[in-house]
Amino acid sequence: MGRATALAFAAAGADVVAADIAVEGEGIVDEIVVAGARGAFVRTDVSQSDDVQAAVAVALEKFGGLHCAVNAAAIENETTFLADCEESRFDQLFAVNVKSIFLCLKYQMRAMLAGEAGGAIVNIASTNSFRPRPKQSVYTATKHAVVGMTKTAAMEYAGEGIRINAIAPGAIDTPMLRGAMAARGSKEQDVVAKLSLDRPPRHAGGDRRGGTLVVLPRSVLHGRARPCCRRRVPGSLRNVQL
Ligand SMILES: NC(=O)c1ccc[n+]([C@@H]2O[C@H](COP(=O)([O-])OP(=O)(O)OC[C@H]3O[C@@H](n4cnc5c(N)ncnc54)[C@H](O)[C@@H]3O)[C@@H](O)[C@H]2O)c1
């Protein structure tokens, strides 16, 4: 989703700094250029403060400022009920899914405040932010935390012209979902059979869904966590449910 979002921003004319722990992400720079924008890749572990600061610094030094940020990196590698979950897995999930949001918000907002033009930040939460899933107690807790931090930061910085929101996808066909399916031994046809596409998509004031970019209008949304599930997403991303 981070890759698709980066390309959507590039197609909209934004210069994009892509940050990911996987060095293969570097290939996205060529795609950003093809989309008509300038791009940079910074190998980043979002759970590490120095890495996050370095990625933000590239936006400032190379492109002259930071105006929008989407925090999409996360892991979902939990396969047991809570009593069998290793403490090390808890620590890893909270480091990558929650500490990362804290670090990204902290340094992205500092850059936006210094720029004096405000900005917009979108954190990727999950439908797990609102409802529990068996064998996902820690992942679910991390995604609840993302919403709590988003709402609090949104209140704190509304007066500074920085809008902070979260979107909460349902299951989307990405490497994360494929990994979860493999870890649980789920078959693709069983997952697709559980699709809930019969309900009409929910609409909110002016936000555009159905693509990979969710536009959160300045006048309407602030400090919200928007569910965006049960909707087929065109292109390479499909909306499916475990
Ligand atoms: N795919 C789904 O069904 C689904 C559903 C709800 C919410 N989400 C959320 O959407 C977001 C995007 O998920 P996705 O499905 O695109 O996942 P994905 O696994 O396809 O992509 C996640 C990216 O994060 C990167 N990453 C992992 N650990 C990192 C770290 N420490 N530092 C920097 N980068 C790191 C990975 O290299 C990968 O490129 C996540 O926050 C996820 O929790 C996904």
Residue 124, ligand 1, Cβ within 6 A: yes
What's the 159 CA to ligand 1 centre distance in angstroms?
31
Residue with CA nearest ligand 1 atom 16: 1
Q: Which atom of ligand 1 is nearest to the CA of 4?
A: 16
What's the 54 CA to ligand 1 centre distance in angstroms?
20
Predicted pLDDT of residue 2? 96
Predicted pLDDT of residue 240? 35
Residue 98, ligand 1, Cβ within 6 A: no
Lookup: tokens for 212: 């990979």
Instruction: Tell me the CA distances in angstroms from 74 to 20, 27, 105, 154, 176, one per residue in order.
Output: 10, 20, 15, 21, 9
Under-50 pLDDT residues of the chain: 197-220, 230-242
Q: What is the DSSP string of 204-237?
A: -TT---SSS-----TTT-SS-EEEE-S-PPPTT-
Residue 117, ligand 1, Cβ within 6 A: no
pTM: 0.87
Predicted pLDDT of residue 189? 77
Rounded to whole angstroms, the Cα distance separating 101 from 123 reads 7
Match 């060095």 to its residue by tokens. 23
Residue with CA nearest ligand 1 atom 5: 171
What's the 170 CA to ligand 1 centre distance in angstroms?
13
Residue 20, ligand 1, Cβ within 6 A: yes
Instruction: Tell me the CA distances in angstroms from 125 to 75, 118, 150, one per residue in order.
Output: 12, 22, 9
Predicted pLDDT of residue 242? 36
Rounded to whole angstroms, the Cα distance separating 178 from 75 reads 12
As annotated, the active-site residues are 139
Residue 216, ligand 1, Cβ within 6 A: no
Residue 1, ligand 1, Cβ within 6 A: yes
Rounded to whole angstroms, the Cα distance separating 1 from 73 reads 9
Instruction: Tell me the CA distances in angstroms from 163 to 80, 145, 219, one per residue in order.
Output: 37, 18, 10
CATH superfamily, domain 66-199+210-228, is: NAD(P)-binding Rossmann-like Domain (3.40.50.720)
Predicted pLDDT of residue 198? 43
Instruction: Work out the angle between the directed axes of helices 49-63 and 100-115 (0-180°, nearest 10).
Output: 30
- Provide the residue count of the chain: 242
What's the 59 CA to ligand 1 centre distance in angstroms?
21
H-state helical runs in 116-231: 137-157, 175-184, 188-193
Predicted pLDDT of residue 116? 83
- What pLDDT digit, counting tens, does each position of 33-88 carry? 999 999 999 999 999 999 999 999 999 999 999 999 999 999 999 999 999 999 99
Residue with CA nearest ligand 1 atom 8: 126
